[in-house]
Amino acid sequence: MNDNQTEGLSMETGFFHVEEVVRGTRAYELYLEFRYEVFCKELNRIAPPSCPLSSTGRPMETDQYDQYSRHFMSYHKVSGNPAASVRVIFPSPVGLNVTPRYIIDRPLPYPDARDDNIGEISRMAIAPQFRRRQEDRNKPFQGDPESEMSRLPDNHRHHQPELVLGMYREIYLVCKQNGIDYCMAAMENRFSRLLKTLGFPWVSVGPVNESVAPPRRAYLISAVEMESSLSQRETCILSFLQAQDVNNTSAQQQAHPSK
């Protein structure tokens, strides 16, 4: 990881703007404040021994993995309100956040998965107003990706699938750019089913940890298998994930036509 990283990524979906937040900026402080509001204050999943305060005096949630991570925030286009956060932890001397908290079965299901090419998707949080509505409870977990990624009236429903896919597009691109072929994540069974039905082939690599609330287990995903799965089942989602990568490649070719 390059701690001097200053050029963030920026991507768009129909309803949300997603951007990278860089350490040392006010946007990064707002991102850590958002994490505190969701993980510490609302969900009580994280109880940091001491919360640093931002430049405006608000508590922030942070840990030793943040310096080895890339961080992203999603904002609702119409209101400008923060909608979601996520980070990707890169291989580092402190390892991954999931490792000390969950039993991980070895060997892993992929022989080329190594400590230096496995990242972790972590601190993914969605603001309460953008989560699925109560009346969506008995509908399929994934909804309809095609229609939920279209420009429906903003009060039609909360757009969690689009929001999650927008964050996953960030993760996919930053991992490709940095040689990360696999990602781990600790997830509830319900959320893992949501992602699997969308075509993301997460594989469980350990038992459920009943001591965390809600109970979760460690999962692993292969970038190659994900691309293969989406190319066969959900080509619109694969195109969505790869759109920014295509745009970046085209821009690079225009800037360096001799390459």
What's the pLDDT score for residue 114?
96
Q: For 102-135, what is each residue's pLDDT tens digit?
A: 999 999 999 999 999 999 999 998 888 887 644 4
Per-residue pLDDT, 96:
97
Confidence of residue 65 (pLDDT cuts 50, 70, 90): very high
Instruction: State the architecture of 10-248 in CATH terms.
Output: 3-Layer(aba) Sandwich (3.40)
Q: Round to whole Å and give the CA distance between 31 and 203.
A: 29
Helix (H) or strand (E) holding 215: none
Tell me the average pLDDT across 70-80. Answer: 92
User: Dihedral through CA 240, CA 88, CA 102, CA 39, nearest 10?
Assistant: -90
Record the pTM: 0.79
Burial grade of 259 (CB within 10 A; 0-12, 13-18, 19 or more): exposed
pLDDT band of residue 213 (cuts 50, 70, 90) is confident
Domain range annotation of the chain: 10-248
Q: How does DSSP classify residue 132?
A: P
